[in-house]
Amino acid sequence: MKGLRLAFMLCAFCLTAAYGQPPQAPSDQVKRFAPYAGKFEGQLMMTEGGKTVTAKVQDKNSMISDDWGFLVEEVATMPDGGQYKSHNIMGYDAGGKKVHIFSITNAGETHDHKGDWKDAKTLFTQYDGTWEGKPYVEKITLTFHSPDSYSVSWVATKGGKVVNKGEETLHRAP
């Protein structure tokens, strides 16, 4: 019981010390997304299984967590009328020195892409995982053209073979 009491006291001390520190400013790595908050729309072109489809895409983007993160809520209306939905949370891990894009989709995908800014307007990220026991790699490049336009391109491989690739270009919605 004495040890438990000591543990609680140490936790209380650590929390008090942490909250007594001046707040850090959000990372410049994330601040770069701020001009892209708002609604965007555009076209997606994707090739999978030898078939290429186009779809209308709408993104609703917002800074989150007191500007420590950026959320992209995306809906793509496919040619068959179905919808592909994804939520992509972007943030910066100061410890690992990587930008993360954590994606969850209604296709059952949950991926943590990690990467770096290649220049002031280009972010490259990669997810490394497995699919059906084979290495699965998804490479995503975001290019920010102006505060009113950006594009996303990607290529996914399974066991070293391309299984999906595409690109989309979005413009600020009126």
DSSP 21-57: SPPPPPPHHHHTTGGG-EEEEEEEEEEETTEEEEEEE
Cα dihedral 125, 128, 130, 136 in deg (nearest 10): 60
Label residue 36 left, alpha or beta by phi (over 0 means left) and psi (-120 to 50 means alpha).
alpha
Cα dihedral 81, 168, 135, 107 in deg (nearest 10): -30
Domains, the chain, ordered by start: 28-172 (2.40.128.20)
At 41 the pLDDT is 98
Residue 1: pLDDT band with limits 50, 70, 90: low
Q: What is the pLDDT of residues 79-132, one digit of tens each?
A: 999 999 999 999 999 999 999 999 999 999 999 999 999 999 999 999 999 999
Which pTM value belongs to this model? 0.84
- Cβ-Cβ contacts under 8 Å for 89 (sequence gap 6 or more): 64, 69, 70, 71, 100, 101, 102, 103
CB atoms within 10 A of CB 123: 23
**Cβ distance 156 to 165 under 8 Å?**
yes
- Cβ-Cβ contacts under 8 Å for 113 (sequence gap 6 or more): 100, 101, 102, 103, 125, 126, 127, 138, 140
